[in-house]
Structure 1
């Protein structure tokens, strides 16, 4: 904007008014001088050529006008030939006109209708007359023009005698008339219909009519494709002396008609074409002739140009040229100076004032320039520009505020984002380095949030994040900053920390925010969080170290069982690296497919002390970590989603091994296989489990899936639906570790389960602990009440076995009978256990146990 203002200011310093006046005057003088010399040379050296071209242009214009007249005649007559109403009227006249018994009312009314349509066409095309003939070539009606205007004529019949009726256009009543106008014939000329063109359109002919030329268009109307003529139409234009007088005036060249062949040939000989006009001259004039063939003769168009007048014009132009230059120069200078002063100087001053207001950032509306030209448009545009600049600056300021807010806040939750948190953390570091005060960074991550997105959809996941943010934001007090840094991760800066105990209380308050479920789209979602804590300056003296160490501590909390918090310690870095290495190794193990193997722990009947089932337990023999027990990699597999392919492998391999036991004659009641909550929460994974079972070859009633109470408690209704679908297949269902963390009485009677497994923590206290006795008896009584089978896990002592036998427990699993065995050792164990009992007796005993 300032650049353009400077340009305008600099332009006015050089007196724009004077500058423009001189430029325009100089341009005018140069043009006038150049034109003067050009015309002088042209008139002097090329006068004859100009006369020839002028005549040729006149004849070309005449030829063009004649073609235009022909075109108008064709169009006018073609319209009548295509007018259905006119054709219908003529067809009616052809069919019902009886001269001896003439229907005056019917036929004459049709003829009046026809002649009215003829009038409209001849007037619309500016022609002289138009006629229509019936199928016998007799004239029906016509319109002609004389000095008083257009005449409407039609023939009627009375007692077989032809009568002509006529009225002028401005009159309403027809009256009898006597003679036909010149050029109108009662009978259609036969030689017109002989032309082949009439079969396809109209034909144009030229005629002599006294001292005038008539251009006439002819068209025959045929009945469909039969070739039968039902009418003839003719339309004419008279080229009289007045026409040529007007034409000569329009082109400033005298052109007239002549029918004198000898005179024309005496003047110009035989070369009479438009493309090449030979000019002859006398002392008084130039002459040129154009020949045109007409019906029964020839017409000549003669062009004349007065030589004396042209010479006088040339001499006058020479003598007046100097005076013209002077007059034009002076007049132009004065006029331009006056106009520029009046039309430019004052409006430009007003425009400059408008622009200066914008420069001063004054965007109020100014009085517009009223010149009625582009300057007025510019003035209006400058006002609009002022408003636009004001709006744009306002928008930019608002956008800058919004951008600053968005750059520092999370779009979903409205919490401060990573950038804001980083700035706040750097500020805290700068403030506390001087006085060595202590503050803490918390890293909070939602537990198993991915499952919410996968099972309920991302829209529910987003709503859950909003609800979590709304609840957490109520917790921070003074000196606490809560930020969402991405996904389900939150950072919390806690300043002014007095001691570790106070910090633990604050962390506990954040965890307590997750005790109540979150309501999202009508669903109650129970979710917990894991928190890692790093303190300044003990765990790091820069922002990157503090956030990294808090993150490591958070993962330690997840490994401790989630819904927990951990403080950073030096060994966490080594732990985090080991965890990352184990994740990578676990992925390679899944791809390789040969690092996992199944161990089987026998499940023994309380009645027979013989094996009647096995539970498949996975082991991972890693090239890097050696034999890895399930407790070290199952939780990691669930967190990373790798449990899905691992679980499918366990199911497939376990059923293959069970089928092999059956083929070798080892008949067991069932095989128990553990299924992760992650697998059961995904509909696609559940479908894959069902497909494996259906394709395994093992009868479904020989398969038992073990599930955890936590899966059931998360969403009882969904769990019931999924588990019932397995029961519908005939698969048995067992609740593993029953009673360890959830109140089970409320939903146990609704679940389609077939077995309860008493957790090892209850069995360990038997038979000496009153609490263990009470809990175990309660679980057994509850199972018996609902008709469920009972398995006790972790039985290692004979006293535990005796107690469970006395309480009518159905099945024992534990080291008392056997530890988990590799598959080949399991075969030997089964053969040894069953060698003293027949297959049938075992089956009878098992059925009796289930019926109790």
Structure 2
């Protein structure tokens, strides 16, 4: 081979040829490997972002559902329906015209602010009931982010709304709005008003609410847990869902997450379309079709804009909602680091035989090792090992770009984990006082009752209700009411010992759990001290209106040994304390 070529030329030629071949082969393999790793990294990142958005939305809907059930079963809601229904009947047959005139037409507040009117001052029983219950429901809607709250009787009359829009005082079975999804939510619950039943509509434009996309969540209201008396409906705006889907952290310049309904219309805005795309922009892609049919996956395809993207997709199902959720990023952005890599490789081949041979050898090692290390790190991050150190030296070439991209991926994974923990904390803690919610104390109490035996020390469940709290809210304002609740929470927390627990379960109601009592009578001693502490401590917050404590006590095992009976016993004891004189405790 090359017998007629001098060795002085042949050897360099052979070395150069093999060096070039090696460089080209190494370059091709490195390109393929890097592209595969970038795509794998993008797939893992998209799936993680998709799961994070999906979990956030499921937690949101589940929180609203629990909130709906809690308030549908509360004495406040039940009494409101009963009293407002009686006042409604007193108005005769002109309820709609009378109430819309009082609370909409003659309402002195501007459109969108009609809820500010507390009492129409017409002397009717309806206005008295409205004055009594409107602050509670208005505060509930404001605190929980609901656009409106409806109380509807069994015959479809909208007895009460917070917002006082055009649907107020109309009938959902034969009135102007009988063909809306609000009427559909009422009808579905009205057909089966059993305890625990609920119905959630999809988002549709609702004309009375400025034609904005709204959903309605409905559940029946019962008197004494048996007699069906009406329906509680929450009107849910789409802004929270849209805000979750619009988070762009970790999505790069071309990535986004979107929700799609069964009609193939968006349920969240696109970051790349001008104007409103909710219920306007159509998405008929292969990913959307698969997700709507219940299939999850990751694939390359053309998106709704005609761009080639890597798309991660999955179904999103909650009660009657059947949506598709998609996270995607353009292919060009995923593979953009490879362009710099190819340029550097071509330059090294043209630099000369000797330089190629020497540099090629070191370059292959210099590239392969960091990529392999980053591949290992990607897999560890994909397995949620977020405490690893990305030990790649600072570089200015494409490997450095990949390392920085991996740092961003790690930061996004850490942010996702942090967000999930924050959402879990928010779902189980009251935002005003920082105390645990009903679910946490119920779980704690169920654990204690299941493991309790006669050899254990007794423990006590206390149901606390602040006296005169509504008067403080109505007279001094909700900001003072909030300070009263926070001060009461601090007093309760200061009274806790190791193993004790306190939670806010709604409004001005708290549940306390005191463990390891020497004897049952010790519970009443603690309760009496709490009554005194609240009366003394809250004078500093509400000096003009005394806020005291009515406290019901139940002791395990003397009064009951299961969770439901203990809470019911404590609740009944609290009501006895209120009926007795307030500012006291009862067992």
Class of the TM-score when normalised by the shorter of the 2 chains: 0.3 to 0.5
TM-score with structure 2 setting the length: 0.35
Q: Which has the higher contact order (CA 8 A, sep 6+)?
A: 2
TM-score with structure 1 setting the length: 0.25
Structure ID, larger Rg: 1
